[in-house]
Chain A
Amino acid sequence: MEKRRVANEPAFLLHRRPYTESSVLIDLFSRHHGRIVLIAKGARKLKSRWRGSLLPFQPLIAAWSGRGEVKTVTGIEGEGPSCGLRGKALYCGYYMNELVLRLLHRFDPHEDVFDNYANALALLSTEEDQERVLRIFEKQLLRDLGYGMHLVRDADRGNPIDPGERYRYRPDAGPLPYSDTDHHGVSVHGATLLALEEEVEFDERTRRESKRLIRSVLDYHLGGQALRTRIVYGQMFPPESGRNRLTGS
């Protein structure tokens, strides 16, 4: 079998872990080859030229070779400055990484997801409404992977969504007209579904409802396995009580 070489590939690093004495195993999200696992040999050594480039949230140009499941890095460098995520934005970035790691199969290219990911990262460092950036990325991700949400017509008769009406959104079906007797799915207003579709500014209710809505859809596709970054985010930024919980006192 021919040894496959790839060069000059735009990519982001999703995750890294130490491997053997001085190497690093990395999960890379590349534009044309999708998610791949590579070994960066000797990358933890002091003299490695790659050391400063193996960082998440930074546009990279990567090259690799190999025919197995795990490729070998032959070159990797930063392209342009890092997105510089700090504070909450950083943990939003990790959350996006976990979604990509969990929902994309290896070697399954998704250029659209890649471009949306790059765009969302850039927005996270500048835009104040980080939740909206995440919701739109999640919506696009689900759509690009073929799990698109139904946001303009109800799943019952295909009637247009009415912004003033309430619906019950079922992850397996879509929005159904609200009824008091049916407790399946998440209760949302039509306005929330349309705001997600049109990607307009979010008001407080849209923010709250869209979070619960997309969470239920994601959980459905993740097969009920909890997202680690979501748990850690909860520890770092507890909803109300300020810092008491964090200090453990």
Chain B
Amino acid sequence: MASLKDLRNRISSVKSTQKITKAMQMVAAAKLRKAQDAAEAARPYSKNMARVVANLSASMAGQPGAPELLIGTGQSETHLLIVMTADRGLCGGFNTNIVRKARERIVELQREGKTVKIMTIGRKGADQLRRLYGDLIVEKISLRDKKEIDAGIAIDLGKKITDMFEAGEFDVATMFFAEFKNVLTQVPTGKTIIPAAESLSDDEAAEAPDLKGAVYIYEPGQEEILEELLPRYINSQIFFTLLENAAGEQGARMSAMDNATRNAGELIDDLTMDYNRSRQAKITTELIEIISGAEAL
């Protein structure tokens, strides 16, 4: 049986842990709202972009000379997996779930004899993949020093990725991230961004506007517009995904910390019960000692 002092120490230590988790939960809740707003504000751009690119590419696909970013290199030998995770932990299974999803894909691709390259965005993903697939990681990016995610980050990333593609370093690029369903649920997802045609087909936003019989005037040509827009489309996809992931991270952290706070509360209750019981037992023993001492006289 632990002594009273030990119990007292444990109670106070769990109490301070609870204070920390509670504070983290509230911070995550505030950040979550901000992240959600940012994702919401970015939606019109990425939606419009997807729609326009989808329309353009629908009429371009199948034609010779369609850009490779759109239709791919015609093979799928080398895959680039872009694993987007958080830079910090303490957010429940958020990072692990994304990494697991990516790992499943790696195993699958390797079984098919494909070459796999990994780009990690966020430190946690790199940490978890390093042990098994350290030699496959070609690029590690941390967004830790960035205060908030702005379009500039996505443009830099997009450029890096399209440059690699143009240098022939990979054929297919897939992003792994957590799709933000709601605050409590984030679904780990894989999404192909290059060739762009594949990601467009998943996009429900890709619906042609009703032109009422008229035909678009293209300025300059259709091909030039598409070539100019495709990298931007990829950037906007990356940007939106980053925002969504950031919101998911905060949501996951909020619920993880909520659980932790609740568990700490239960633990405190149990410990307090133990403490009181031993205190009473001690008093009873002392009383018995005094009484039997008095009786003996």
- Asked if A pairs with B, the answer is no
Could you list which residues of chain B lie within 8 angstroms of chain A, going by C-beta atoms? none
**Residues of A in contact with B (beta carbons under 8 Å apart):** none
